């Protein structure tokens, strides 16, 4: 039981780290406008607090999803690699 919890927590930590690396480029790709000529600049007026709130909320949500998936994988690894203790047979 203890090893399964350790694997689950380790998996959650690894999942959150992987999500921290993968989510920012995905957010940048998703929010970039398409169909513009190479090197064209976009002039836009944005509400900076809303942009920050959007980016951070999606980053935290991605980290939570990554941690959850990592915990599930770690728990499954812990359950499937669990070897019960061998009992001695009386001679």
What is the model's pLDDT at position 16? 93
Whether the pTM exceeds 0.75: the reply is: no
Tell how far CA 21 is from the center of its chain.
9
What is the model's pLDDT at position 66? 94
Domain ranges, ordered by start, for the chain: 1-28+55-81
Task: Name the stretches of the chain with pLDDT < 70.
Answer: 32-36, 40, 42-43, 83-91
Half-sphere exposure of 43 (CA within 13 A, CB side): 0
What is the model's pLDDT at position 48? 80
Span 33-51, pLDDT tens digits: 666 677 767 667 777 888 8
* Residue 87: φ, ψ to 5°: -95, 145
């Amino acid at each position: 039981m203890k090893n399964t919890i350790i694997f689950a927590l380790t998996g959650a930590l690894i999942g959150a780290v992987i999500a921290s690396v993968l989510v920012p480029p995905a957010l940048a790709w998703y929010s970039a406008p398409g169909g513009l000529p190479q090197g064209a600049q976009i002039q836009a007026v944005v509400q900076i607090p809303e942009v920050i709130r959007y980016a951070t909320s999606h980053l935290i949500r991605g980290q939570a999803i990554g941690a959850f998936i990592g915990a599930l994988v770690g728990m499954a690894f812990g359950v499937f690699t669990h070897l019960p203790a061998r009992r001695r047979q009386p001679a």
